[in-house]
Structure 1
Amino acid sequence: MSRARTSNEIWWAVMLDKWHEFLHNCPKLPKKPIAESSWPFQIGTNITIKEYNTFLNNYGSSEYKFQFELNSDNKTGSVHIIDMTTPVHEDVVHLLQNFFEVPNGGVIFRPPIKVSGQPLHYKPYGNGVEIAPDVAVYPGTALIPRPATSTIRPRPPSDIDGNPYARIMCEVAVGQGVGHLKQRCLTWMCEQYVRAVVSIKISSPRIEIREPATGYFYRTMTAKLYRQGMAIRKWDFGNARKNSRDPISDPAPCNAPNLPNFQINIPIGEIQQVALEAKM
């Protein structure tokens, strides 16, 4: 167990952080909560790729989701907060992780499919910029070796820790705008090793009205499935029909579990297939 820091050590840690920010051009986290209407919220300009990656490694696990937009010089850029990891967001992320782990059949150590939350990868064509999905699904080392030991030349891409590049990415947005969400998904699809991207957009709750039986707020949700070489598939679900002004008199079609029209067949089998091809 690690030793608790004294108040004097905490004071010095805070001062060192402030001194580091003074010496370097670092993005600045907001000191007060940000309303969703303010997103994307800019927290840094003319930040170098190295400065952003350092910032992301230090604060990437905070309650915010960040986006780095390169300037025309391809060396510096601006940093924005695009969303927050609210309880609703984290509940959906946790649910997706559980679904992707089902094919492991309960195997915990060295499972054939590895599921991680927000692992850092190098952004496709991003000049070394790091980016993290909400959920990443990898082939386990039982299926495919780490790129560092691969016999393929040139070696396959990896995440920043040297693990095989994730084959399926998931992006979950609550406050994040639809445009930024789409851009993020299409960015992942630029990497050929990414076989699919699952996108879920959860709209703001309609706080003026609730479900009579459950008391839940009405929400519209949209899921999209991106796959290499295939058309994008889309599902509008939730307990409110999209653009409906009266969800009670005009109920949503997704109103019961296991409806075929609202099921996403996640292509988990492609992970094993791509892994086998990589071994050949």
Structure 2
Amino acid sequence: MADGEHESIVSLLQNYFKIPNGGDIENPPIDVVGQPFHYCPSGSGEKIAPDIAVYPSEVYVPKPTLLHPGPPPSDRIAKLWRQGVSEFQEWDFGTLQKVSQVATGCNAPNLPAYQVSIPVSDVFWNPTIIAGVPIVAGYTVMVPNTINANNFNIDLYRIQQLLLRKQNNN
């Protein structure tokens, strides 16, 4: 079981990812869930769970017939794994840089260096895959017309501040 600080951050991030659904809570085009089990991509047979999974409703993108292994496990550093992107993105957005006493620049809302903008269309990226290779030539992502935003916009300062509030309450 995660601590209250962790769960508060996960809840806030889930809310950010639900915004493009336009308030549809019964049949949203984008599903946002916490800790769904999947097999570790290492092939060890171990089941792991990300803090948050964001994926399209099967109405818009059916499950593939050959399942992919899914994202690698995460740790306490903020990491983002995106479908179709082979590497992680990481951010150090605390008040101090990791393993130092040097202040980060994350000291106010809306700072460009601490904004994460993820195209909503990435959720619906679903090209044909042949022999493990996505065929993207001529492929166009189909985003449902009920989606009300082009990007998921996450302000890391606001996440930092929520964590600090939670730490002060404990």
Paired residues, number: 129
> Residue 258 of structure 1 aligns to which amino acid in structure 2?
N
Shift of 1:272: 1.4
The unaligned stretches of length 5 or more in structure 1 are 1-62, 64-84, 148-154, 159-164, 170-182, 186-198, 202-222
Find the aligned partners of 1:125 and 1:233 in 2 and give their Cα distance: 20
Q: Equivalent residue of 2:26, what SS?
A: coil
Find the aligned partners of 1:94 and 1:230 in 2 and give their Cα distance: 26
Do structure 1's residue 259 and structure 2's residue 111 form an aligned pair? Answer: yes
Cα deviation digits, residues 168-221 of structure 1 (max 9, x gap): x6xxxxxxxxxxxxx724xxxxxxxxxxxxx752xxxxxxxxxxxxxxxxxxxx
Task: Give the conservation status (yes or no) of the 8 Å contact 2:35–2:49.
Answer: yes
Cα deviation digits, residues 31-81 of structure 1 (max 9, x gap): xxxxxxxxxxxxxxxxxxxxxxxxxxxxxxxx1xxxxxxxxxxxxxxxxxx
Do structure 1's residue 142 and structure 2's residue 32 form an aligned pair? Answer: no
Task: Give the conservation status (yes or no) of the 8 Å contact 2:48–2:73.
Answer: no
Identify which of 63, 73, 81 aligns with 1:184: 73
Find the aligned partners of 2:105 and 2:44 in 1 and give their Cα distance: 44
> So what's the TM-score if we normalise by structure 1?
0.39
Shift of 1:95: 1.1
Find the aligned partners of 1:184 and 1:244 in 2 and give their Cα distance: 25
Higher normalized helix content (fraction of residues): 1
Higher normalized strand content (fraction of residues): 1
Shift of 1:224: 3.6
Identity score, percent: 43
Partner of 2:94: 238
Shift of 1:135: 0.9
Shift of 1:263: 1.1
For the aligned residue pairs, the C-alpha RMSD in angstroms reads 3.1
Do structure 1's residue 114 and structure 2's residue 44 form an aligned pair? Answer: no
Rg bigger for which structure?
1
Q: Equivalent residue of 1:124, what SS?
A: coil
Task: Give the conservation status (yes or no) of the 8 Å contact 1:237–1:254.
Answer: yes
Shift in alpha-carbon separation, 1:252–1:129, aligned structure 2, 3 A: closer
Partner of 1:41: none
Alignment of 1:49-198 (within 5 A): 63=1, 85-126=2-43, 128-147=45-64, 155-157=65-67, 184-185=73-74
Task: Give the conservation status (yes or no) of the 8 Å contact 1:111–1:142.
Answer: no
Task: Give the conservation status (yes or no) of the 8 Å contact 1:115–1:136.
Answer: yes
Larger RCO (CA within 8 A; separation ≥ 6): 2
Name the stretch that deviates more: 135-144 or 255-264: 135-144
The unaligned stretches of length 5 or more in structure 2 are 129-138, 140-170
